[in-house]
């Protein structure tokens, strides 16, 4: 995890709180428009939750969780992802009973114990949505549209949607064996990585960047040809919906997901103008998860994206966000006899702020030049000059930092004047 700072650094400008707020705000806004409500779950969960939902054999559960024993001898884990905790929370509060259809979004921290790298952190922030209770592919399409709209709103125009269907837990074994049978004759020619996956998780053989493996797998059997009737119809329906919505997509027969709980639809949004780290986000359907966690049989689908990667992608694409303006409108500089001027300055500043204006001053009893420099640092658009002379005349100097033109404004009128000038 990186610290997120109040000022942009020359290097790593993406670690600026204003940018994070902007992206989060955009996400919240889109979620609200799509009818999603926010859920916040705690960082700590019982380890059992993840072991059961994500799968004991997955890398995440077997070696990438922050797990510890608390004083009561309970095994707790800092959440490595957001879906299982959301399911747990809905079960605990019986939301599935009260709301057969739930559309949720979250913005939160996930933790994975692994080697840090650019765009991969032990603590990362994830933005995501989860929908429970709808099995029609129309909701799959909605989640996909939401994700793509989010990136479009950020200015990422060049996106590609990749979709696939991994079928159900019941139909997958047949495919897995077919894939193994296909690969077995030339297993020795596969990369070491591919050979490992052949045993551990055959589907993941598909998800390789190894050119040679890709050639060997060119004519491998496809998941879509092994789908059960329900999954096949669902997948075709999704494609029809996407076409109707005018969303181009690519059937990616090698697209699979890492967690055990996924079923049917899986998708990824790819940034086409990026290099190897081109995945903008992904998601999929998990119809068995709620039941697996002890709840009623409830279909579900979700999507997630990493905040850090999102910001790095924006940087890579040279996209400049119009973040919240944190500059003060006015910066008050004082001159002359401090004992007389300071009280008036404190009062004026208080009045400006009470009127809703962003105003500041230096507080360090420095000469004019230094105070003005501070005003520039902060990006103030107007300088308010207050000294003995101004006090006697009952005015304050108003100086436009762009034009450098300064004029006196009667003190009682300064607020109204600044309000006119405020953007």
* Interacting residues toward RNA by CB under 7 A: 1-2, 10-11, 58-60, 63-64, 81, 112-122, 124, 126, 193, 197, 204, 207, 257-259, 276-277, 279, 281-282, 304-306, 308-309, 335-336, 364, 366-370, 372-373, 375-376, 383, 385, 387-390, 397, 399, 401, 404, 406
Q: Cα angle vertex 134, ends 130, 140, to 5°?
A: 65
Closer residue to RNA, CB minimum distance, 95 or 390: 390
Closer residue to RNA, CB minimum distance, 230 or 408: 408
- In whole angstroms, the minimum distance from the beta carbon of 391 to RNA comes to 7
Residue pair 410/394 in contact (Cβ under 8 Å)? The answer is yes
Closer residue to RNA, CB minimum distance, 95 or 395: 395
Check residue 117 and report its DSSP letter.
B
Give the contacts of 335 (CB within 8 A, at least 6 positions apart): 341, 368, 385, 386, 387, 388, 389
- In whole angstroms, the minimum distance from the beta carbon of 59 to RNA comes to 4
Q: Residue 349, by phi and psi: left (phi above 0), alpha (psi -120 to 50) or beta?
A: alpha
Residue pair 79/110 in contact (Cβ under 8 Å)? The answer is yes
Location of structure tokens 């290099």 = 275
Closer residue to RNA, CB minimum distance, 139 or 270: 270
Q: How far apart are CA 109 and CA 124, in angstroms?
A: 6
Closer residue to RNA, CB minimum distance, 28 or 340: 340
Helices (H), 245-306: 289-292
**Long-range own/partner contacts, residues 117-123 (CB < 8 A, 24 or more apart):** 118/312, 119/277, 119/306, 119/308, 119/309, 119/312, 121/1, 121/2, 121/308, 122/1, 122/66, 123/1
- In whole angstroms, the minimum distance from the beta carbon of 93 to RNA comes to 25
Count of H-run helices and E-run strands, the chain: 16, 16
- In whole angstroms, the minimum distance from the beta carbon of 225 to RNA comes to 23
Closer residue to RNA, CB minimum distance, 110 or 171: 110
- In whole angstroms, the minimum distance from the beta carbon of 244 to RNA comes to 27
- In whole angstroms, the minimum distance from the beta carbon of 197 to RNA comes to 6
Q: How far apart are CA 423 and CA 418, in angstroms?
A: 10
Closer residue to RNA, CB minimum distance, 313 or 358: 313
Closer residue to RNA, CB minimum distance, 142 or 390: 390
Q: How far out from the chain centre does Cα 301 lie?
A: 17
- In whole angstroms, the minimum distance from the beta carbon of 81 to RNA comes to 7
Sign of CA dihedral 19, 21, 25, 28: positive
- In whole angstroms, the minimum distance from the beta carbon of 209 to RNA comes to 7
């Amino acid at each position: 995890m990186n610290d997120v700072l109040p000022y942009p650094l020359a290097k790593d400008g993406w670690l600026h709180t204003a940018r994070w707020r902007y992206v989060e705000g955009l996400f919240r806004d889109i979620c609200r428009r799509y009818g999603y409500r926010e859920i916040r779950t705690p960082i700590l969960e019982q380890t059992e939750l993840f072991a059961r939902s994500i799968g004991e054999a997955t890398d995440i559960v077997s070696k990438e969780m922050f797990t510890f024993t608390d004083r009561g001898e309970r095994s707790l884990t800092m959440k490595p992802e957001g879906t299982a905790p959301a399911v747990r929370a809905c079960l605990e509060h019986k939301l599935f009973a009260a709301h057969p259809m739930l559309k949720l979004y979250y913005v939160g921290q996930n933790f994975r114990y692994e080697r840090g790298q650019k765009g991969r952190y032990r603590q990362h922030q994830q933005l995501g949505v989860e929908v429970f209770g709808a099995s029609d592919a129309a909701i799959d399409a909605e989640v996909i549209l939401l994700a793509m709209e989010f990136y479009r709103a950020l200015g990422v125009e060049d996106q590609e949607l990749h979709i696939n269907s991994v079928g159900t837990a019941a139909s997958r074994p047949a495919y897995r064996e077919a894939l193994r049978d296909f690969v077995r004759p030339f297993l020795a020619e596969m990369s070491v990585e591919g050979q490992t996956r052949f045993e551990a998780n055959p589907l993941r053989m598909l998800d390789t960047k190894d050119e040679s493996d890709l050639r060997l797998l060119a004519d491998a059997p496809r998941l879509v040809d092994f789908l059960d009737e329900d999954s096949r119809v669902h997948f075709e329906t999704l494609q029809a919906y996407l076409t109707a919505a005018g969303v181009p997509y690519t059937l990616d027969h090698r697209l699979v997901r890492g967690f055990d709980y996924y079923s049917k639809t899986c998708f990824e949004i790819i940034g086409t103008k990026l290099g190897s780290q081109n995945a903008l986000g992904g998601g999929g359907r998990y119809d068995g998860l709620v039941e697996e966690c002890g709840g009623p049989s409830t279909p579900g689908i979700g999507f997630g994206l990493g905040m850090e990667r999102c910001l790095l992608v924006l940087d890579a694409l040279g996209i400049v966000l119009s973040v919240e303006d944190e500059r003060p409108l006015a910066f008050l500089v004082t001159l002359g006899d401090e004992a007389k001027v300071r009280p008036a300055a404190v009062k004026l500043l208080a009045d400006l702020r009470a009127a809703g204006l962003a105003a500041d001053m230096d507080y360090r009893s420095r000469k004019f030049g230094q105070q003005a420099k501070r005003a520039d640092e902060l990006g103030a658009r107007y300088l308010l000059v207050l000294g003995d002379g101004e006090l006697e005349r009952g005015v304050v100097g108003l100086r436009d930092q762009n034009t450098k033109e300064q004029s006196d404004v009667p003190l009682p009128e300064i607020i109204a004047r600044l309000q006119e000038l405020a953007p």
